Structure 1
Amino acid sequence: MKEIIAVVRMNKVSTTKKALIEVGAAGFTASKVMGRGKLVEDKSVIAERRKTLLALAQKDDQVTEKMITEFLDGTRLFPRRLFNVLAHDEDVPKIIAAIIKANQTEYKVGDGKIFVLPTLDAVRVRTQESGDAAI
């Protein structure tokens, strides 16, 4: 039994939920979180992303520019969604593949992170079943 923790973009929440349901994940929870990932060191990727974000903002003001700069230099935390999925060991690869497919973008930065942890036990409150039966 494993716990899969996935940190995804806020605009990918619906896509991720659909992907988890389609792949047969037994259940999951989602929480709003704030964070940031590893900074991209390739200056050309950062410059291209900055240009794209400024164009999307459709505002030419210092507040927007400051927010985009802080996003790209890592000083600002941004909203993300944290999914927790309990899964049988044999289901882990297909769940991970579904999360990746739902969240991978062409941006080359900020697509998320997936962690897989061993889970010692689970208990279903309603029936008191434990272990794999509780999933």
Structure 2
Amino acid sequence: MKEILAIVRMKKTGATKKALIEAGVAGFTAMKATGRGNLVDDDDIIVPCREKLEKMAPNDVIDEEEVEEQIVTFLDDTRMFPRRLFTILAHDEDVPRIVEAIMAANRTERGAGDGKIFVTPVADAIRVRTGESGDAAIW
């Protein structure tokens, strides 16, 4: 028995939910989370992101220095980003299928920030309603 923890972009919540259901996952939990990964220093990723952020800035409301400060804090390692954390309990043999479904739903061409998946062992699970434990409590 394993626990799968998947941290994904907020905009990928619906796609992840759909992928899990299509993969036959009986149940899962999703919650809001914040965090950040490695600092990206690849100009091929940063320059288009910077340009997009500059276009989004309301020039009639804030000045250039404030825009620059907000962009820098967005792109450097000081900002936490909203994410969604999915937790899934699964039988050992189902883990590869579930992990692949999560990866397929969340992979982008952005080059960074697509998420992380962790798989950990679970000692036991108990279904509160029936008292079933072990694998019987999962699905």
Amino acid at match of 2:22: E
SS in 1 for 2:100: helix
Aligned sequence identity (%) = 60
- 5+ residue gaps, structure 2: none
Structure 2 vs 1, CA of residues 92 and 68 (structure 1 numbering), >3 Å: closer, same or farther? farther
| Shift in Å, 1:94 | 0.7
Matches of 2:71 and 2:25, distance apart in 1: 35
Q: 1:1-135 alignment to 2 at 5 Å?
A: 1-55=1-55, 57=56, 59-60=58-59, 61=62, 65-135=68-138
Matches of 2:131 and 2:67, distance apart in 1: 52
| Shift in Å, 1:134 | 0.3
Task: Indicate the RMSD between aligned Cα atoms, in angstroms.
Answer: 1.6
SS in 1 for 2:120: strand
* Most deviating of 12-21 and 66-75: 66-75
- 5+ residue gaps, structure 1: none
Structure 2 vs 1, CA of residues 49 and 9 (structure 1 numbering), >3 Å: closer, same or farther? same
Q: Please, what TM-score do these two structures have when normalized by structure 2?
A: 0.88
Structure 2 vs 1, CA of residues 26 and 71 (structure 1 numbering), >3 Å: closer, same or farther? same
| Structure ID, larger Rg | 2
Q: Please, what TM-score do these two structures have when normalized by structure 1?
A: 0.90
Structure 2 vs 1, CA of residues 73 and 15 (structure 1 numbering), >3 Å: closer, same or farther? same
SS in 1 for 2:88: strand
Structure 2 vs 1, CA of residues 69 and 115 (structure 1 numbering), >3 Å: closer, same or farther? same
| Shift in Å, 1:92 | 0.5
* Most deviating of 117-126 and 40-49: 40-49
| Shift in Å, 1:59 | 3.3
